[in-house]
């Protein structure tokens, strides 16, 4: 059984789309919505940390 739900999957791919467009603020917003569904989602936590890192917010990135 997968640990990611369909809705989390949508948030992951939508967030990745925003990252590819370099819209990291929007990606962070989407990843946080996904984490509201499952706060322990490793893929969303990882991607959220990377998005913060791309904004040069290392302190915030490390918290994820």
The whole-number pLDDT of residue 50 equals 97
Q: Give 8-59 pLDDT, tens digit per residue.
A: 899 999 999 999 999 999 999 999 999 999 999 999 999 999 999 999 999 9
The whole-number pLDDT of residue 24 equals 98
| Domain ranges, residue 25 | 11-55
The answer to whether residue 28 is domain-embedded is: yes
The answer to whether residue 5 is domain-embedded is: no
- Count of the separate structural domains present in the chain: 1
The answer to whether residue 36 is domain-embedded is: yes
CA gap 58, 15 in Å, rounded: 19
| Residue 29 exposure: Cα atoms within 13 Å on the Cβ side | 6
**9-36 as b/e, with b when 16 or more CB fall inside 10 Å?**
eebbebbeebbeeeebebbbebbebbbe
pLDDT band per the 50, 70, 90 thresholds, residue 5: low
Contacts 24+ apart (CB under 8 A), 44-48: 44/8, 44/11, 44/12, 44/15, 47/12, 47/15, 47/16, 47/19
The answer to whether residue 1 is domain-embedded is: no
Residue 1 has pLDDT above 50, yes or no: no
């Amino acid at each position: 059984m997968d640990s990611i739900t369909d809705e989390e999957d949508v948030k992951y791919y939508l967030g990745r789309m925003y990252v590819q467009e370099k819209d990291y603020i929007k990606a962070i917003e989407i990843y946080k919505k996904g984490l509201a569904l499952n706060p322990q989602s490793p893929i969303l936590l990882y991607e959220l940390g990377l998005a913060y890192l791309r904004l040069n917010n290392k302190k915030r990135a490390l918290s994820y």
